Amino acid sequence: MNQATLGRAITFEGAGLHTGVDVRMRIRPAEADRGIIFVRTDLAESPEIPVRLDYLIGTERETTLGRGEVTVHTVEHILSALGGLGIDNAIIDINGPEVPILDGSAAPFVEEIRKVGIKSLKSPRRIFRVREPVWLEDNDKQIIILPSTDFRVSYTIHYPESGIHSQFYSLSVTAESFEKELAGARTFCTKDEVEELRGAGLIKGGSLENAIVFDEKGVLPQCRLRYPDEPVRHKILDLIGDLMFLGCQVKGHVIVIRGGHALNVRMARKLDELKQKTVAHYHRSLSVTNEQLDIEAIKRILPHRYPFLLVDRILSIEPGKKIVGLKNVTGNEHFFQGHFPQYPIMPGVLLIEAMAQVGGVMLLSGSNMPGRLVFFMGLDNVKFRKPVVPGDQVIFEVEAVKIRSRTGLMRGEAYVEGTLVAEADLKFSIPEEG
C-alpha cells in the first residue's frame, strides 16, 4: 500500500479548547515522505514543527507540539483524523497556538477530507509490525501491544465515581471503521473536572457544544450521546492521534486499560526505539556522508564467497568502532533445502556467522588488510530469541568492545523488524600474513 495525502487544501476556523483563541487552520497536500508538519503562519518566518516525538512537549490534558518557544496545542483530533483515514503527508498552516476544537470530535475533519478526496502517492507506506508483546504500566494504567495482521484497538475505561462507570470497546481500525465508529466521538469530562480545569485557566473555548459532561448520575440532560459508549470511543480516537508521532502505521493489537495521552506517548517512544532497529529506519535516517557498502564492495574486503557470503549490504560503518549490516533471507537459500524444509528456519549458527562477517567488515575496512582473515577465538552469551524465516530482513549491529593489535571482542545483535532475534559476544583474532 502506498502513502497518501489530501486531494486538495481544506480550511477550518474556530476556537481552541483550552486557550479559547480563534484560529484559522488550512491543511494542504504534501509530497511523499514529508510527513505531517504544522506551520505557525502568525509568527515571523512561519516556523515549522514536524509531528515527531522530538517535538512532543506536553500530554497533561491534551497533546502539545513545541519547537523552542513555538507551540501548537491539542493536535490529537486532527492527527487522529489524518491517521484514521490513512493520510501520511500534509502541511497544516495555523495562525494561532491551538487547533480549533470544532465539535470536540474528528468528524468535521473527516467530512472535509472526504469532500476533497485522498490522493495516493508513489512511495510505499511506512509500516511497523509488532512481532512480540510490548507493554507499559503506570499504577492502574496499562497499555499492551500484541502481534496482529491488522491494527486493532481494545480499550477499557473505568470511572467508578462518575456516571461514566466502566466501558469497553474493541475494533479493527480501517478508514471505514474509523469514520463510522470513532470519528464522531467527542471529548468528555466530569462536572467536577469542569470547575477544576476552569480554575487552572483551561477549557476557555469549551462548552456543551464541543464536549460531553457527566455527573454522578450519568450524562447531563443538555448533552445527547452519539454512541452509547462515546467516552471509550473518544479514548481510542485520541490514541490513534498520539500514535501518529511514530511516523508510520502500526500493525498490532493495542490493548489499553485506563490509558491517556501520557501513556500513549510513552508507548510511541518505546515503539520508536524498536523501529530504529529496522531496515526502513536505517535507509531513511542515514545521511549522504555515511559510508555504505554494496555486495561488490563487501567482496573486496571479505574473502567469503557463495554460498557462504552471508552479508548483502553494509548500511552504516565506523571503522574499528561500530557497523550495521543487512541480510535478506529468501526461500532460495541453499540451507533451507535440508534444514527443516517443511518449516524453513535459518540455522542459528549461520545467523552468528553472518553477524561475525559484518564485524569482520568493520575490522578490515579502512585498513590495509582487505582480503585478510578474521578467525573466531570464542563465543559467549549466545542467545537465539526468535526464528528467522524466508522473507525476513535481518539487521546486524556489531560494536567493538575491546580491540588489540591482533585480537579483540565484539558485541553483536540481530534484529528483524525491531525485534531482537539473536545476540552474541564474539572473540576474534587476525593472524599475521603468510
Catalytic annotation, residues:
261, 339
SS3 of the chain: CEEEEECCCEEEEEEECCCCCEEEEEEEECCCCCCEEEEECCCCCCCEEECCHHHEEECCCCCEEEECCEEEECCHHHHHHHHHCCCCCEEEEECCCECECCCCCCHHHHHHHHHHCEEEEEEECCEEECCCCEEEEECCEEEEEECCCCEEEEEEEEECCCCCEEEEEEEECCHHHHHHHHCCCCCEEEHHHHHHHHHCCCCCCCCCCCCEEEECCEECCCCCCCCCCHHHHHHHHHHHHHHHHHCCEEEEEEEEECCCHHHHHHHHHHHHHHHCCCHHHHHHHCCCCCCCECHHHHHHHCCCCCCCCCCCEEEEEECCCEEEEEEECCCCCHHHHCCCCCCCCCCHHHHHHHHHHHHHHHHHCCCCCCCCCCEEEEEEEEEECCCCCCCCEEEEEEEEEEECCCEEEEEEEEEECCEEEEEEEEEEECCCCC
